[in-house]
Amino acid sequence: MADVESPQDPRRVSLLTLGCARNEVDSEELAGRLSEGGWHLSDDPAASDVVVVNTCGFVEQAKKDSVDTLLAAADTGAKVVAVGCMAERYGRELADNLPEADAVLGFDHYPRLAERLTDVAEGRSVESHTPADRRTLLPITPVERQAAADGVTVPGHSGWGPRVLRARLDDSPVAPLKIASGCDRKCSFCAIPSFRGSFVSRHPDELVAEAEWLAGQGARELFLVSENSTSYGKDLGRELGGTRAMEALLPRLAAVSGVGRVRVSYLQPAETRPDLVRVIATTPGVADYFDLSFQHSSEAVLRRMRRFGSTDSFLALVEQIRSYAPEAGIRTNVIVGFPGETEDDIAELERFLTGARLDAVGVFGYSDEDGTEAETFDGKLDQSVIAERVARISALVEELTAQRAEDRIGTVVEVLVESVDDEIVGRAAHQAPEVDGECVVLGDLDCEVGELLRCEVVDSAGVDLVVRPVGGAAGTT
């Protein structure tokens, strides 16, 4: 993060972000608010008056990482403020158990965060956030939410028209763009809706305006993020496309000058419509990439998860995707060791993974989450059984994804260049940032970060590809 000067106040603040790309958008919104509020943004916590830690509260390891980061920030001697999902979810409880944090602030503090940091810097006490179920803040009926949302703080929803309240915190050619927040699903293992709230879409004109701003800041790939992208538009009304709003939005974003690639993330399989599959797979400038949250494929386990689908229906969706785009990238996450899971359920998951030939799979062992329905379920498995199943599925996934990468040898891919230091490294359309592998570009090539190169795949190593340019650049900065 390059330092951003503020003419109003010499106070310096550093922002540290944990968790997902949605949190990255929230941090950049906070950076915009703080800069506008007179704070100087710095990438050096030790030289800052206040360090703001945007925490993650999704799973136990993420909570531990958030606490460790807060403690490390306190060691710099700066004042420390916790924000983000863990702060929103636990509030005063976190403050009571972590005196190293000078303040624990929830989402409702975001609009006046600059003032709250001034209070902290000057030694004034700021009352800790008191958690509440944020699903109660908006109407149950989705189409009634847009009018009501004006009075509710929804992180990442602050930009409108030509005024984008956001500041880039790095110079990456990839930028997350939050299309919605919250979730209406009732998955038994997930607590996110309780602290992120009900699903709320952003207006498509607002998203196009922010995409244009991001392109002007050097972004060449837009990574569309939300808790559930397949629900986008269901609260916008028919005049804006309703449940078909995503199909209309994607071509608009892909047409923004300077944007070379648009990528959609966080798709729910049960809500992934044939028209949406077609638009993602066939629209120029939109990556033929499908981040599908399968979680499992055994019907019995899925029902206990309060989800829908089966091995056969999921395989049919994969087949539908590849009928449009045979080389499409497909990734997922799966949870093993869910309460009541049997050996037959694991075998069914193995059948799905073997038949689907996915490009990337995250494998997670089940653990109880505070306040979730699954926390109360019977049939809990011993940790040693869960660990064995994680290892078993992980080994299968490693073999299958390596085979899928090897199958790409001889094909041509478009690689977005992300680094030109010791070697040229980037990602193809089927590789999302950080989680799906990368491409190493061979040859003594004079290129810049942000270029799109047409390359032939000549080798693979696990999920990573080795590629050689063919025919020059597909697109430049």
Q: What is the mean pLDDT of residues 214-227?
A: 96
pLDDT exceeds 90 at position 234? yes
pLDDT at 475: 46
pLDDT classification of 2: cutoffs 50, 70, 90: very low
20 is annotated as contributing to ligand binding: yes
183 is annotated as contributing to ligand binding: yes
pLDDT at 477: 37
Mean residue pLDDT of the chain comes to 92
pLDDT in tens, 13-24: 999 999 888 999
For the chain, count helices (H), then strands (E).
14, 18
C-alpha 347: how far from chain center: 30
pLDDT classification of 476: cutoffs 50, 70, 90: very low
pLDDT exceeds 80 at position 355? yes
C-beta of residue 455 within 8 angstroms of C-beta of residue 395 = no
High-pLDDT (> 90) share of the chain, %: 84
pLDDT at 59: 72
Residue 95: φ, ψ to 5°? -60, -40
Q: What is the mean pLDDT of residues 375-397?
A: 98
C-beta of residue 421 within 8 angstroms of C-beta of residue 442 = no
Domain ranges, ordered by start, for the chain? 12-130, 137-407, 411-469
Q: What is the mean pLDDT of residues 441-463?
A: 94
Domains 12-130 and 137-407 share a fold: no
pLDDT at 206: 92
| Alpha-carbon dihedral sign for residues 210, 215, 219, 222 | positive
pLDDT at 162: 58
pLDDT classification of 159: cutoffs 50, 70, 90: low
Q: What is the mean pLDDT of residues 247-268?
A: 97
pLDDT at 238: 87
Which SS3 state, helix, strand or coil, does residue 134 take?
helix
Output the pTM of the full model: 0.92
pLDDT at 441: 97
End-to-end CA separation in angstroms for the chain: 20
High-pLDDT (> 70) share of the chain, %: 96
Q: Which residues does 320 contact at the CB level (< 8 Å), separation at least 6?
A: 274, 277
The domain 12-130 having CATH identifier 1.10.3720.10: the answer here is: no
Pick the more confident residue, 241 or 391: 391
Assign domain 137-407 to its CATH superfamily.
Answer: tm_1862 like domain (3.80.30.20)
pLDDT at 7: 46
Round to whole Å and give the CA distance between 155 and 157.
6
Q: Which residues does 97 contact at the CB level (< 8 Å), separation at least 6?
A: none
Span 411-469: which CATH code? 2.40.50.140
455 is annotated as contributing to ligand binding: no
85 is annotated as contributing to ligand binding: yes
CB atoms within 10 A of CB 179: 29
Q: What is the mean pLDDT of residues 157-166?
A: 70
pLDDT exceeds 80 at position 158? no
Alpha helices, DSSP H only, in 284-408?
299-304, 311-324, 343-356, 383-407
C-beta of residue 462 within 8 angstroms of C-beta of residue 395 = no
pLDDT in tens, 86-135: 999 999 999 999 999 999 999 999 999 999 999 999 999 999 999 999 99
